[in-house]
Structure 1
């Protein structure tokens, strides 16, 4: 019996929650016998914060500083993607694709999911309380409400290591 080929988008970031969600996905969703899945690892670089000389902050950045900040953001993206790819190295029949996009993570994840026609999106949950979620917004909640495919939200238990593969 042939296994249906699936395309699964996993959003990754610098946090331990993200590494745990990817590991959980690999062990519980992708690790099926004869799986021919495609795993899309997505890292989203947040947009630059725009400061105005008129807003009272006094932040004006030279082109050298902006270039340096961009290089740092790209280096972080590369590091996160490489770490995620290492977690996937034991997969045999699974194709791993990587993407790095710039923008608001909530919108980028939903847009990439739609453009690439994924069957599922896997996200971590930072477990913010009501107040933090109100101020910071919840990427996972936004994606669960706006993605046109199923969204699996994985919350890391407080006593479990992020890169555990058990």
Structure 2
């Protein structure tokens, strides 16, 4: 009997520095990744762009080039730290093929664009669990993406802490 053909799947997981993001990644590895498929997990981190903090001081003045360079260095270090943590979660899980992408821009736009480019079988995202007021002001990245990508979107909500963690 011929060997069965193993279906390949691409699972895009949006990660950031939040615990919700890492919980979603862990949940995905335990509940979505399967030995019945040849799964590739693509970890995606959206790094803020310089224009996003060009006038954060509130005075309308641009930050000095030294301050901007420091912010860019911090963002690069944050991206490296997030990716290292996410890769460790994947390595601790076991054998799974992992790719990483760090892209510049607003998380909503980056996730939607990369999803369109890669055409994954599913997009997995964590939910920050913002209440109605915070969500109204900050917007929901997961909601925006679920409305604008063409693949299934799995939003993983971290259980509320029981206080025994």
TM-score (norm 2): 0.88
Runs ≥4 in structure 1, deviation > 4 angstroms?
A: none
Summarize deviations over 1:119-160 as a string: whole Å, max 9, x none: 110000011111111110000000100011000000000127
Aligned to 2:161: 159
User: Against the structure 1 CA distance between its residues 66 and 52, is the aligned structure 2 distance closer, same or farther, given a 3 Å change threshold?
Assistant: closer
Picking from 51, 55, 69, the partner of 2:55 is 51
Aligned to 1:64: 66
Q: Which has the larger share of helix? A: 2
Aligned to 2:100: 98
CA shift, 1:7, in A, is 0.4
Aligned residues: 158
Q: In 1, distance between residues paired with 2:85 and 2:7?
A: 28
Summarize deviations over 1:38-62 as a string: whole Å, max 9, x none: 1100010123323299xx6154321
CA shift, 1:99, in A, is 0.5
Picking from 21, 27, 30, the partner of 1:27 is 30
Aligned to 1:113: 115
Aligned to 2:78: 76
TM-score (norm 1): 0.88
Gaps of 5+ in 1: none
**SS of the residue 1:36 aligns to:** strand
